[in-house]
A and B are shown apart, each in its own frame.
Chain A
Amino acid sequence: MSTNTTAVDLGQDREAAGEPLLQVENLKMHFPIYAGILRRQVGTIKAVDGISFDIRRGETLGLVGESGCGKTTAGRVILRLYDATGGRVVLDGVDIPSLSGEELRRIRPRMQMVFQDPHASLNPRMTVGSIISEPLDEHRQLSKRERRERVEELLGAVGLDPRFTNRYPHEFSGGQRQRIGIARALALNPDFIICDEPIAALDVSIQAQVINLLEDLQQQFGLTYLFISHDLSMIRHIADRVAVMYLGKIAELAPRDDLYGTPKHPYTQALLSAVPIPNPEIELARERILLQGDLPSPANPPDGCNFCTRCPVATDICHVEDPAWREIESGRYVACHHAV
């Protein structure tokens, strides 16, 4: 417990110094491909290929991209559910990839995750009470009564009836299950939560409930979120800053209103123009940028800019040189040769 308090004190010092809660620098996650009888490595899938960003305390960073762009992998590497191939992840001054065994275990309570599929991420043979109290058993020494009180408190916080403790996940609807997943993530008072497509499996009318809950909890507990989603309109609602990923790299990172107002990267522009808007008049009048073709394979990304095969404004340089990650205005980063 004493190590914990010092960590918190240190955190407050850093907070005062205006340092971000999480710093990600040139993070890479490459998965080897094995083939043949001898299972020799024949290539690598560059799922995450050098991404960098900061997340400030109390803010929500949205990470958007299409399926296969590496956004979920990025989230998992940050929490060290995978061991990174390279790069740094610094949570409150602690470099996560370099931690070993017990040190890593000690920092785990500070960072948690809410998973995409509420049907797959809860063990069907455990009661809701034991699902939520499992992290408490692992990381806190609580008496039986304290533990029960904490579980009931958490259920209340996510808007479920505390009497549900002894029920099983199958007795709940999708939205309620996602609330259970959120309660589990909150159990250890984390600072930082990665929400990996938490609403993708839910119906429209339930999505809004869960998003409102996440926002309330952020206010209440001062949480910092990395919100991973493919839903651009939801990201616009929840995020303070937004990073757009494409094929393992971040194409553009900007404050929300700037990104949606004046997108700089041609991929961001195309992505925004492809989102259907529930208004027939706008839909009719809208000009769309249609991208040709599909996402290239991350095992065999194109030379130069990874977007050059589908980019409507690509020129010769784009096929040769990988664009640098540059800050074109204060706080706005773009990886494109042509962005101004």
Chain B
Amino acid sequence: MQANIETGPGILDVIDLKTVFATREGHVHAVNGVSFYLKEGEVLGIVGESGSGKSVTMMSLLKLLPSPPAEITDGRVIFDGQDLLTLAPNELLGVRGRKIGFIFQDPMTSLNPVFTVGYQLIEPLRKHLGLSKAQARQRAGELLDLVGIPSAADRLKDFPHQFSGGMRQRVMIAIALSCDPKLLIADEPTTALDVTIQAQILELVRELRHKLGMGIIWITHDLGVVAGIADRVMVMYCGLVVEHGAVKDLYNSPKHPYTRALLESLPSLDSNRAERLNSISGQPPSLEAEPSSCPFAPRCPYVFDRCRVENPVIRAFNGGSEDRQVSHDVACWWDVDLGAPRHVD
């Protein structure tokens, strides 16, 4: 079984992942066949609105969702030569926190309020790396120092409530980094923070990334944050990847009408001020069933017959800039540049 798994280009390979929630009102198809990869030392940005399935995708990778209601119905997650979805619970414990670090959105609720920050930092070090108490304490101090917390060693005995929001998020980052993971998943790590604090955290991550050379998956709804930090971007809508490409390609010439509309609906800080914002009419559809037609069709300005009957598969877009090493993929029947249907079968 294990031998048959083809290793992709990177450290993480997600193939056709599907997650369904069984609720009393029926099934919710949150993730509908998501595939992506991550190379070593690379930052992948995942953008989408709430309900687009970006967080559920990442939680599914590590089976962090309670089951029931969540069920991973299909797909493979290949990390380090293993399919994470087939691992036994105790084997997974050795991956979570050790090889894959996770930063959650809300620094106010993701730290345990009744233990000191030091205790929470030392726990994974002792468990995963088998350090002695004294070694772990010293390493914990170094980690807090690394993420820029002043007088780090003294602050180990403080409780989370004694830290500000930005500082708590730094502690979360320190915990995620503690075992030197190969992959760091950051789920909206700066959404709950103010812009000036967000700028500090982004700077910190840019710095650490070069220092530690791990792969980072950065989930956000803020297109601005992704532009500044990611190498590649993936846009999600209704549990599907609708567009993927190198950051420059995607921002300079977005191919999916949804990506276009998202970028156009943002007021700008630097260019001319538009009299009126371009809004996307309507709202995302409910996910009671796996989409059988394009889920963006009801809101799409370019919609035509085929969109309403057939869901486009994501495929590499042919043409584009010459120095492209990363393919630019889009799931759309319409070619926005040509102004005509795309020639695909």
Binding site for B on A (CB under 8 A): 66-67, 173, 175, 203-209, 211-212, 215, 230, 232-234, 236-237, 260, 270-284, 288, 290-291, 294-295
Contacts of B266 in A (CB 8 A): 204, 233, 278
Indicate which residue in B199, B248, B267 contacts A237 across the interface (CB closer than 8 Å).
B267
Beta-carbon contact of B196 and A270 below 8 Å? yes
Interface hits, B219-239 → A, CB 8 Å: 221-228
Contact A279 to B200, CB < 8 A, known contacts A204-B265, A208-B278 = no
Contact A280 to B248, CB < 8 A, known contacts A204-B221, A294-B167 = yes
B224: nearest chain-A partner, CB-CB: A276
- Most A CB contacts (10 A, CB to CB) among B197, B261, B263 go to B197
Q: What's the minimum C-beta distance from A138 to chain B, rounded to whole angstroms? A: 32
When chains A and B are docked, how far (Å) is the Cα of A175 from the Cα of B279?
12
Beta-carbon contact of B223 and A66 below 8 Å? no
Beta-carbon contact of A208 and B251 below 8 Å? no
When chains A and B are docked, how far (Å) is the Cα of A291 from the Cα of B268?
23
Indicate which residue in A173, A232, A236 contacts B195 across the interface (CB closer than 8 Å).
A232
B114 at the interface (CB under 8 A from A): no
B273 at the interface (CB under 8 A from A): yes
Indicate which residue in A175, A233, A280 contacts B267 across the interface (CB closer than 8 Å).
A233
B249: nearest chain-A partner, CB-CB: A280
Q: What's the minimum C-beta distance from A306 to chain B, rounded to whole angstroms? A: 15
Contacts of A275 in B (CB 8 A): 195, 224, 269
Contact A204 to B248, CB < 8 A, known contacts A276-B228, A294-B166 = no
When chains A and B are docked, how far (Å) is the Cα of A291 from the Cα of B200?
8
When chains A and B are docked, how far (Å) is the Cα of A300 from the Cα of B265?
40
Known interface pairs A209-B279, A275-B224, A276-B224; 4 further A-B residue pairs with C-beta atoms within 8 A, sorted by A's residue number = A66-B197, A283-B227, A283-B228, A290-B200
Contacts of B166 in A (CB 8 A): 294
Show 5 A/B contacts (Cβ-Cβ < 8 Å), sorted by A: A211-B279, A233-B267, A279-B251, A290-B203, A291-B196
Contacts of B270 in A (CB 8 A): 277, 279, 282
Indicate which residue in A67, A205, A280, A281 contacts B280 across the interface (CB closer than 8 Å).
A205
Contacts of B203 in A (CB 8 A): 288, 290
Chain B, interface residues (CB within 8 Å), range: 35 or more
Beta-carbon contact of B227 and A206 below 8 Å? no
B90 at the interface (CB under 8 A from A): no
A206: nearest chain-B partner, CB-CB: B283
When chains A and B are docked, how far (Å) is the Cα of A225 from the Cα of B196?
26
Beta-carbon contact of B200 and A208 below 8 Å? no
Beta-carbon contact of B224 and A277 below 8 Å? yes
When chains A and B are docked, how far (Å) is the Cα of A289 from the Cα of B50?
31
Beta-carbon contact of A207 and B265 below 8 Å? yes
Contact A212 to B276, CB < 8 A, known contacts A233-B267, A278-B263 = yes
When chains A and B are docked, how far (Å) is the Cα of A198 from the Cα of B338?
38
When chains A and B are docked, how far (Å) is the Cα of A284 from the Cα of B251?
13
Binding site for A on B (CB under 8 A): 49-50, 164, 166-167, 194-200, 202-203, 221-228, 247-248, 251, 261-263, 265-270, 273-274, 276-281, 283
Contacts of A173 in B (CB 8 A): 283
When chains A and B are docked, how far (Å) is the Cα of A208 from the Cα of B247?
24
When chains A and B are docked, how far (Å) is the Cα of A270 from the Cα of B279?
29
Beta-carbon contact of B273 and A294 below 8 Å? no
When chains A and B are docked, how far (Å) is the Cα of A209 from the Cα of B247?
27
A209: nearest chain-B partner, CB-CB: B279
A232: nearest chain-B partner, CB-CB: B269
Beta-carbon contact of B273 and A237 below 8 Å? yes
Beta-carbon contact of A211 and B277 below 8 Å? yes
When chains A and B are docked, how far (Å) is the Cα of A206 from the Cα of B261?
11
A216: nearest chain-B partner, CB-CB: B276
B202: nearest chain-A partner, CB-CB: A276
Contact A278 to B223, CB < 8 A, known contacts A271-B195, A291-B196 = yes
Indicate which residue in B225, B228, B262 contacts A204 across the interface (CB closer than 8 Å).
B262
- Most B CB contacts (10 A, CB to CB) among A279, A288, A290 go to A279
When chains A and B are docked, how far (Å) is the Cα of A205 from the Cα of B196?
24
When chains A and B are docked, how far (Å) is the Cα of A233 from the Cα of B266?
8
Contacts of B49 in A (CB 8 A): 203-205
When chains A and B are docked, how far (Å) is the Cα of A175 from the Cα of B299?
15
B233: nearest chain-A partner, CB-CB: A280
When chains A and B are docked, how far (Å) is the Cα of A66 from the Cα of B280?
28
Beta-carbon contact of A278 and B224 below 8 Å? yes
When chains A and B are docked, how far (Å) is the Cα of A15 from the Cα of B276?
28
When chains A and B are docked, how far (Å) is the Cα of A173 from the Cα of B284?
10
Beta-carbon contact of B277 and A212 below 8 Å? yes
Contacts of A282 in B (CB 8 A): 227, 270
Q: What's the minimum C-beta distance from A295 to chain B, rounded to whole angstroms? A: 8
Contacts of A211 in B (CB 8 A): 267, 277, 279
Beta-carbon contact of A280 and B227 below 8 Å? yes
Beta-carbon contact of A230 and B277 below 8 Å? no
Contact A230 to B274, CB < 8 A, known contacts A276-B225, A277-B227 = no
When chains A and B are docked, how far (Å) is the Cα of A175 from the Cα of B51?
14
Q: What's the minimum C-beta distance from A314 to chain B, rounded to whole angstroms? A: 16
Contact A281 to B262, CB < 8 A, known contacts A211-B277, A291-B196 = no
Q: What's the minimum C-beta distance from B43 to chain A, rounded to whole angstroms? A: 12
Q: What's the minimum C-beta distance from A158 to chain B, rounded to whole angstroms? A: 14
Contacts of A206 in B (CB 8 A): 279, 283
When chains A and B are docked, how far (Å) is the Cα of A280 from the Cα of B224?
8
When chains A and B are docked, how far (Å) is the Cα of A203 from the Cα of B266?
11
When chains A and B are docked, how far (Å) is the Cα of A281 from the Cα of B249?
11
Contacts of B283 in A (CB 8 A): 173, 175, 205-206
- Nearest first, the 10 A-B pairs at minimum CB distance are A276-B224, A237-B267, A208-B279, A274-B199, A283-B228, A66-B194, A205-B280, A208-B277, A278-B223, A208-B265
Contacts of A230 in B (CB 8 A): 194-195
Beta-carbon contact of A260 and B269 below 8 Å? yes
Q: What's the minimum C-beta distance from B282 to chain A, rounded to whole angstroms? A: 9
Beta-carbon contact of A237 and B274 below 8 Å? yes
Q: What's the minimum C-beta distance from B60 to chain A, rounded to whole angstroms? A: 22
When chains A and B are docked, how far (Å) is the Cα of A276 from the Cα of B226?
9
